[in-house]
Amino acid sequence: MLFSSVSFLYYFLPIVLASYFLSPWELKNNVLLLASLFFYFYGEPIYSLLMIISIISGYLHGLWINCTRGSRYAKIPVISSIIISIGLLVFFKYTDFFIGNVNGVFNTDISPLNIALPIGISFYTFQILSYTIDVYRDEAKVQKNILRFATYVSLFPQLIAGPIVRYTTIEEELNERTHSVSDVAYGINRFIIGLSKKVLIANTLGELVEIFNNTGDKTVLFYWVSAIAFMLQIYFDFSAYSDMAIGLGRIFGFHFLENFNYPFISKSISGFWRRWHISLGTWFRDYVYIPMGGNRVSAVKWIRNIIIVWFLTGFWHGAQWNFIIWGLYFALILLLEKYIFKKLLERLPAAARHLYMLFFITISFVIFNGDGMNESLENLKGMFGLLNVPILNTETVYYIKSYAVVFIIAAIGATPLVSKIVKRVVVNEKYEWALNVIEPILLAILMLFVTGYLIDGSFNPFLYFRF
């Protein structure tokens, strides 16, 4: 079940909200747990059992870690948790990838298992690991109530598309949280904005990418337009799901951390990654990079750490070589920024640094978007005029004109410009009343547009099937 679906918006969510707020406090977590299990079962009936097994494993390992704390056997349960959690992730996500590579290298004929990827496994696996590792580090208290732990892992607002919510972030709110009209209002506002970003901007850009993929009349300019469209599509799609998760979480009394912070205003690749998918970046930083020594090691070991972290970051996104190359691509650029480009970038004007970032990020998403490296390389060749295609034709001009408005809206929306204007209005008491009147009207209009698009059966892809 997608957030951007009529069944979720007008059936599932109203029933859950009514059940939740009409229930006494002691039953609210149970309502969320049942709703979350149904939400996952609706989309993944077979793999619901896998998620429940993962929950039970994480819960029991937390108790085991707590029991062995301070003993010489203290590391055994946390190592066991890592092996089981990563083992399940590797089996269901990467088995066929490994079989295909073994067949290619050794000329064998091992049959693939054709295992369907369980939706959300990458996200809830990392959440369980953050819990057991933090309990081992004594940074989180063990959760002895299995229903509360299950609620944390399966919480439907962030279950299938993130952000990766750490146990320590909502540890206290699982046990006790408050609800207020202002929090509910903020949550509704944030959810509708995220939903609008997904349906009205990301999906429209996705239509253009789909048109490009299906046309036989490509041009050099169309390759670039499609690359930029996909880059903006995945930003608005992913940040929209984060907005919706944060909004829904706030309605239910949870305060999830921000996952995106206008990454396209960055002036370096390192700056971009401090603002993009923050929950994933900080997860790898705290549970992989720092335990290996972080940057407090020799230059050789630091380079090793960067390569390992970015290899794993790429591999986490999908079981294809282009994801691995995508991760290593960023490792290379970050190393170059550290040792070669740093002084040069500091001398460049801000606009030039910004263009530098946009260029390399655009290339990265071409690598990311390919169905394997062959397709990625084909698209890169097309962008740089290495294929037998014209630079421009009437079809390309037609699509540029047709999608110009959404590109302009997306470009503005990817910056904090609108947010800054709203904040200035809020600060000014003369106009605050106007915003209070206009805001709910605008949100209602957005919901009408979104509903119209969804009822019309418009293009509504779910990009996270690959994750």
Q: Cα-flanking dihedrals φ and ψ of residue 359, to 5°?
A: -60, -50
How far apart are alpha carbons 223 and 386 in whole angstroms? 12
Q: Which residues of 23-34 are buried (b: 16+ CB within 10 A; e: fewer)?
A: eeeeebbebbbb
Q: Is 317 a catalytic residue?
A: yes
Distance in angstroms between the alpha carbons of the first and the last residue of the chain: 16
In terms of Cα–Cα distance, which of 243, 204, 255, 253 is closest to 3?
243
Peptide bond connecting 461 to the previous residue in cis, omega within 30 degrees of 0: no
How far apart are alpha carbons 63 and 54 in whole angstroms? 14
How far apart are alpha carbons 260 and 242 in whole angstroms? 8
How far apart are alpha carbons 325 and 334 in whole angstroms? 14
How far apart are alpha carbons 117 and 418 in whole angstroms? 38
Task: Out of 61, 179, 255, 317, pick the active-site residue.
Answer: 317
Judged on CB neighbours under 10 Å (0-12, 13-18, 19+), 94 is: middle
For the chain, what is the radius of gyration of the CA atoms?
Answer: 23
In terms of Cα–Cα distance, which of 200, 46, 192 is closest to 119?
46
Q: Cα-flanking dihedrals φ and ψ of residue 344, to 5°?
A: -65, -45
Where in the sequence numbering do the catalytic residues fall?
A: 317
